[in-house]
Amino acid sequence: MFKNFLKVMFRSLTKNKAYSFLNIFGLAIGITCAALIFLWVENEVNYDAVHVKKDRLYIARENQKYDTYVFTHQSTPGMMGPAIKAEIPGVANVCRTSESTNSLLYSYNNKPLFAGTLYAEPSLFSMFTLPFIAGNAASAFTQLHSVVITQKTAVKFFGTDKNVLGKSIRVDNKQDYTVTGVLKDMPANSSVQFECVMPFQIYWDNSPWLKSWGNNSLTTYIELKPGVDPKSIDKQLYGFIQKREPKNLGRVFLFGMTDWHLYNDFKEGVKTGGGQIEYVHLFSIIAWIIIFIACINFMNLATARSEKRAREVGVRKVLGAGKKSLALQFIGEALFMSFIAAVLAVILMALVLPAFNMLVQKQLTIGFGNVYHILALLGLTVACGLIAGSYPSLYLSSFNPVAVLKGLKLKDSSAAYIRKGLVVMQFSVSVVLIISTVIVYQQIQHIKSRNLGFDKDRLLEIGLQGDMAKNYAPIKQDLLNSGFVQNVALSDHSTIYGGNNTSGMTWDGKAPGSEILISQRYVTPGFFETSGLKILEGRNIEEIDTASKPIAMVVTQSLAKLMGGKGSALGKRIHYEGDTTAAVVVGVVNDYVYGNMYGKPDPVMFFSSSPEHTDRMYVKIKAQQPVEASIAAIQNVFKKDNPAYPFEYRFVDDQFNQMFLSEMLVSKLSRVFAALAIIISCLGLFGLAAYTAERRIKEIGIRKVLGASVSGIASLLSKDFLQLVIISCVIAFPIAYWAMHTWLKTYQYHIDMQWWVFATAAVSAMVIAVVTISFQSIKAALANPVKSLRSE
Amino acid sequence: MIKITNLEKFYRTEEVETIALNKLSMHVDTGEFVAIMGPSGCGKSTLLNILGMLDDPDEGSYVFNSIEVAHFNERKRADLRKHNIGFVFQSFNLIDELTVFENVELPLIYTGVTTAERVKRVEEVLDKMQIMHRRNHYPQQLSGGQQQRVAIARAVVNKPKLILADEPTGNLDSSNGNDVMELLTDLNEQGTTIIMVTHSEHDARYSHRIIRLLDGQTVMENIMV
Ligand SMILES: Nc1ncnc2c1ncn2[C@@H]1O[C@H](COP(=O)(O)OP(=O)(O)OP(=O)(O)O)[C@@H](O)[C@H]1O
Ligand SMILES: [Mg+2]
């Protein structure tokens, strides 16, 4: 029996090559697409899975409550870690690290190289899963000037990861460090990332501010003993800092490693349950939708072609085939096609994986060594086969043998309606995707073209290295002399990012009890001109202000409003609570967006700084100068004035774009998915149009004999399909509107939806449908009627 | 073998109700060769479909081999049918994707005959129908007469007790038609009961008895001598 089915299937597949191709290719695209998405999802969901103790590892976070919002961050006081370990019994271990990796200059054999370096306590190696391939955790940090590097870093420094233990390498052109360990490279989906790690003690010794309970500037990781409930620890952490510093706003709590990547979204100090997980959900849904669209194609084509197979069903029934065996036969066919599609999909995946990796910025592999991958692909294939085969098999196996053998036209309107319904569903999804794609794109463009208040174009950020601060004056002069540079200034913070803020300031007339977060920035004169901030009132910062008493400062407009009330803020004073040293407002600049690109920025105070207290330089390139040549000229200046260090720079523009990575990903992926959904839908529509034309070939012949024109017939054939597309739009519009409305609401700064986006989507869906159908319609309309009538 | 009493069959469409069979009664004995004749639309095919259990009557009784089958469900009918009844159609109804051999083999597959036995029986019957040399051809590669011989081979391969033939010569020229009638007569002589619908008085003469229908009722029975 099975052999017989196989034979019939093979022969009918090879006989109807175009049909088979449409079916299998459609499914293959669907499976490829879904499989790629699931690879991505797997990678996301398994974030930090390498860390054996992931269920017991936490990062200490802090909530700080202000007037308008709760600020949740993960910077903690330097004194806190050891105190927690000593005082809270459920804690197994604590590890303090620097907040991020610092780019340090290493030189081996006079070859200078930067490497991202973390400072960490030795417990790092036992808490996180970081296997040594040379050296060991116990002895790695017994000496102060030691450094543990990853395999990749070893290759980068020494050209090999063999026999590098004990090698000496110079850091920052000052101190020699000994390589005391080589770590296996950590996977990209691990939260702990560094190229080199050095003893925390070094950082501690060089950072006196760490010793205060009021300064949050390092990360504290906590490992709990097995079976300890983090909630019970949270209770003890809530007032932990306040025991030492009663007025401190920071409320510490534990944030579990399994949530770091996917659920890192806080509102009002509480985990929202959102974060990257929302994208994981979104893309999983999209994967299934695409699979479903591909299956719909299959169903459509299979039922459309059913008339051709009706006779076979009839004969089989006359000869005694039961409904069940027929249904199984057709399900079997669908499964078989789905398997061919899966094989094709694997080939397609191998071809597009590099491009997909570029798109999602990951290094995913198909990984056939992984049993789960095989099982997942198998599952997906079977699911496809079952979904795709379900309706056709029920439909075909229920044919009445008397009717089909008599050659009754299968008028069966319910099947026709279902077929139309399926096409409508496909096109609805496509239209929703088109609309969403456009709106996501618009929103991102909207934010990117937001007036930030400063000018990020042609603005270079250069980290201060070596003696650049000391030689600032001549370097600045050389840069200006080069003719390419308009302005140069220094700052202690990146203009575009957040950081270093305080709520401890007060002034006359400040509402009692209100907590306002204000950022502090130390800059050199010329900073406003360089970054394009406008002085609205008062004067610029000057060099002498570094020593002026009271301290002179320039504030942003929003702070000026708070301090000045209805009048001017100029001359008003501000000071730390409980401290009499005051700063006076000498100028006001416009507000500018930093930190959160979608939100309203906090106020900023600018103070004049000497070059030594800054750590980055901003260089504005002249408007009319070509960028490439300007960079070359700037590089030349640094080669001459700071020869010991390689020249490294970043465009503020790029930093800005970096902040939209996940939005860009959504935008790009939604574009790809929309295109794929449309392509798959069109494959189906193409097949259906071909089928309709074939079915009506006699009618067309008669109409032509009676004098119908080619265009008349082509439009006759297209009309029905266009109706379907219009219905799809009617269904898609409210869904798209609702979905996009919900999405846009998550942004404070967002666009309003415009009707023309919907209109454009409708028109493009129609144009695409017409182009797809017209090939078949015109072919049918042009056919010689004598031929089609005789063949009947 | 077959006894039907007051059989009725209606076709309802939106506007009209057609009475295809109107209180029809008749019987057929084992070993008979019966021809059914009558003008177009009088209900011959409808009757044959009901006799073959492809369709069920709306009213009346149908006793097949002493079993009342009028209200059997589809599965029971299929079961009874595949073991007892063979069909021959005017339009042959071979499956295009299967070869001659495979088409004839199909009923055996559905009744669960083993592979070796199948090959033996198919070859036997193809031999008898003299189309053994075409066993690996597809239906489209055969003439009408050859296709009908394959169809008859398929109808008899399961050694059914009853063969139902709806205008088996309708699409054939007279010489091919005569061949088919000879085949049916042979089968009948070997003990198979045959009920055949035909428009041709010539073909009807091969039978033992002619039942004439008009508007869904028997109007006359001629016994052949
Ligand atoms: N599926 C159907 N729906 C509606 N009416 C039907 C259907 N099948 C048959 N009829 C009607 O039932 C009556 C009997 O039809 P049947 O096919 O049995 O005629 P017939 O005697 O075989 O005719 P012919 O010699 O032309 O084959 C006819 O009037 C026909 O119109
Ligand atoms: Mg008939």
Ligand 1 pocket, mutate which of B18, B58, B212 (most atoms under 8 A from CB): B18
**Peptide bond preceding A82: is omega within 30 degrees of 0, i.e. cis?**
no
Cα A495 to Cα A594: distance, rounded to the nearest angstrom: 7
SS3 assignment, position B4: strand
Q: Do B82 and A320 touch (CB under 8 A)?
A: yes
DSSP A752: P
Chain A, window 295-324: residues with a beta carbon less than 8 angstroms from a chain B beta carbon: 311-312, 314-323
Report pLDDT for A791: 42
| Distance from the alpha carbon of residue A699 to the mean position of ligand 1, in angstroms | 24
Q: Do B97 and A15 touch (CB under 8 A)?
A: yes
Q: pLDDT tens digits, residue range A189-242?
A: 899 999 999 999 999 998 887 888 877 889 999 999 999 999 999 999 999 999
Report pLDDT for A116: 92
- In this prediction, residue A691 has a pLDDT band, given cuts at 50, 70 and 90, of confident
**Residues from chain B contacting residue A317 (CB–CB below 8 Å):** 54, 78
SS3 assignment, position A162: coil
Q: Is the dihedral of CA B37, B40, B42, B43 positive or negative?
A: positive
CB B161 within 8 Å of CB B30: yes
Report pLDDT for A660: 80
Element housing A555 (H / E): strand A551-556
Beta strand residue intervals within A136-275, DSSP E: 146-150, 168-171, 175-183, 196-199, 216-224, 251-256, 266-267, 270-271
Q: Do B111 and A320 touch (CB under 8 A)?
A: yes
User: C-alpha angle B123/B128/B134, rounded to 5°?
Assistant: 60
* Residue A172 touches chain B, beta carbons under 8 Å: no
Q: In angstroms, what CA-CA distances link A136 with A16, A117, A366, A597?
A: 66, 19, 33, 44
Ligand 1 pocket, mutate which of B42, B48, B164, B196 (most atoms under 8 A from CB): B42
Q: Do A4 and B87 touch (CB under 8 A)?
A: no
Angle between helices A697-705 and A710-745 (to 10 degrees): 130
Which is more confidently placed, B100 or A329?
Answer: B100
* Mutate: best of B13, B95, B152, partner A, most A CBs <10 A: B95
Nearest by CB to residue B109, choosing from A1, A317, A406, is: A1
Cα B62 to Cα B80: distance, rounded to the nearest angstrom: 13
SS3 track for B89-118: CCCCCCCCCCCHHHHHHHHHHHCCCCHHHH
- In this prediction, residue A581 has a pLDDT band, given cuts at 50, 70 and 90, of confident
**Residues from chain B contacting residue A314 (CB–CB below 8 Å):** 93
* Residue B44 touches chain A, beta carbons under 8 Å: no
Ligand 1 atom closest to Cα of residue B39: 25
Report pLDDT for A785: 64
Q: Do A4 and B89 touch (CB under 8 A)?
A: no
User: C-alpha angle A752/A755/A759, rounded to 5°?
Assistant: 140
| Distance from the alpha carbon of residue A410 to the mean position of ligand 2, in angstroms | 19
Report pLDDT for A784: 66
| Distance from the alpha carbon of residue B19 to the mean position of ligand 1, in angstroms | 9
Report pLDDT for A412: 54
| Distance from the alpha carbon of residue B41 to the mean position of ligand 1, in angstroms | 5
Q: ipTM of the assembly?
A: 0.80
User: Any residues with Cβ below 6 Å from ligand 1, and which?
Assistant: B 11, 13, 18, 20, 40-46
Q: pLDDT tens digits, residue range A709-755?
A: 777 777 877 888 888 889 999 999 999 999 999 988 888 888 898 89
Nearest by CB to residue A402, choosing from B49, B110, B111, is: B49
Q: In angstroms, what CA-CA distances link B153 with B89, B132, B156, B174?
A: 12, 11, 5, 20
Beta strand residue intervals within chain B, DSSP E: 2-12, 17-28, 33-37, 59-64, 67-68, 85-88, 162-166, 193-197, 209-214, 217-223
| Pairing assessment for the beta strands A70-73 and A76-77 based on DSSP bridges | unpaired
Report pLDDT for A99: 86
Q: Is the dihedral of CA A65, A67, A72, A78 positive or negative?
A: negative
CB A546 within 8 Å of CB A528: no
Instruction: Count how many Cα atoms sit within 13 Å of the Cα of residue A2 in the half-sphere of its side chain.
Output: 2
The residue length of chain B stands at 225
Please give the structure tokens belonging to residue A551. Answer: 């301290």
Alpha helix segments (H runs only) across B111-166: 115-128, 144-156
Residues B129, B134, B136, B140, Cα dihedral to 10° = -100
CB A681 within 8 Å of CB A430: yes
How does A397-427 read in b/e, with b if 16+ C-beta sit within 10 Å? bebbbbbbbeeeebebeebeebbbebbbbbb
Q: pLDDT tens digits, residue range A57-77?
A: 999 999 988 766 788 888 899
Report pLDDT for B132: 92
* Mutate: best of A9, A318, A329, A411, partner B, most B CBs <10 A: A318
Q: pLDDT tens digits, residue range A590-635?
A: 999 988 888 788 899 999 888 888 888 999 999 888 988 999 999 9
Report pLDDT for A729: 93
Please give the structure tokens belonging to residue A52. Answer: 């054996």
Percent of chain A topping pLDDT 70: 97
**Residue in this structure with the two tokens 């036992």, named with its chain if needed:** A126
User: Residues A270-297: what's their mean pLDDT?
Assistant: 87
Report pLDDT for B218: 80
User: Residues A510-535: what's their mean pLDDT?
Assistant: 87
| Distance from the alpha carbon of residue B165 to the mean position of ligand 1, in angstroms | 16
CB A78 within 8 Å of CB A121: no
For residue B79, what is the nearest residue in chain A, using CA coordinates? A320
Question: Phi/psi at A412 (nearest 5 deg)?
Answer: -15, 90
User: C-alpha angle B178/B183/B187, rounded to 5°?
Assistant: 145
Cα A464 to Cα A647: distance, rounded to the nearest angstrom: 10
Percent of chain A topping pLDDT 90: 35
DSSP bridge pairs for B62? B4
Cα A411 to Cα B127: distance, rounded to the nearest angstrom: 41
For residue B49, what is the nearest residue in chain A, using CA coordinates? A402
Nearest by CB to residue A12, choosing from B74, B87, B97, is: B97
**What amino acid occupies position A704?**
K
| Distance from the alpha carbon of residue B58 to the mean position of ligand 1, in angstroms | 15
CB B118 within 8 Å of CB B109: yes
Residues A320, A321, A323, A328, Cα dihedral to 10° = 170
Cα B106 to Cα B118: distance, rounded to the nearest angstrom: 9
Neighbouring residues of A10: CB distance < 8 A, sequence distance ≥ 6? none
**What amino acid occupies position B42?**
C
Report pLDDT for B34: 95
Whether A447 shows a pLDDT value over 90: the answer reads: no
Q: Is A100 exposed, middle or buried (0-12, 13-18, 19+ CB in 10 A)?
A: exposed
- In this prediction, residue A154 has a pLDDT band, given cuts at 50, 70 and 90, of very high
Whether A474 shows a pLDDT value over 70: the answer reads: yes
Ligand minimally distant from the alpha carbon of residue B12: 1
For residue B77, what is the nearest residue in chain A, using CA coordinates? A320
Q: Do A11 and B97 touch (CB under 8 A)?
A: yes
Per-residue confidence in pLDDT tens, chain B, 225 aa? 999 999 999 988 777 888 899 999 999 999 999 999 999 989 999 999 899 888 889 999 999 999 999 888 878 888 888 889 999 988 888 888 789 999 999 888 888 889 999 999 999 999 988 899 999 998 888 988 899 999 999 998 988 999 999 999 988 888 889 988 998 999 999 999 999 999 999 999 999 999 999 988 887 777 876
Alpha helix segments (H runs only) across A449-547: 472-481, 527-531
Could you tell me which of A261, A254, A264, A260 has the C-alpha nearest to residue A58? A254
User: Residues A33-62: what's their mean pLDDT?
Assistant: 93
Neighbouring residues of A77: CB distance < 8 A, sequence distance ≥ 6? A210, A212, A213, A214, A215, A216, A241, A250
Whether A281 shows a pLDDT value over 70: the answer reads: yes
CB B152 within 8 Å of CB B180: yes
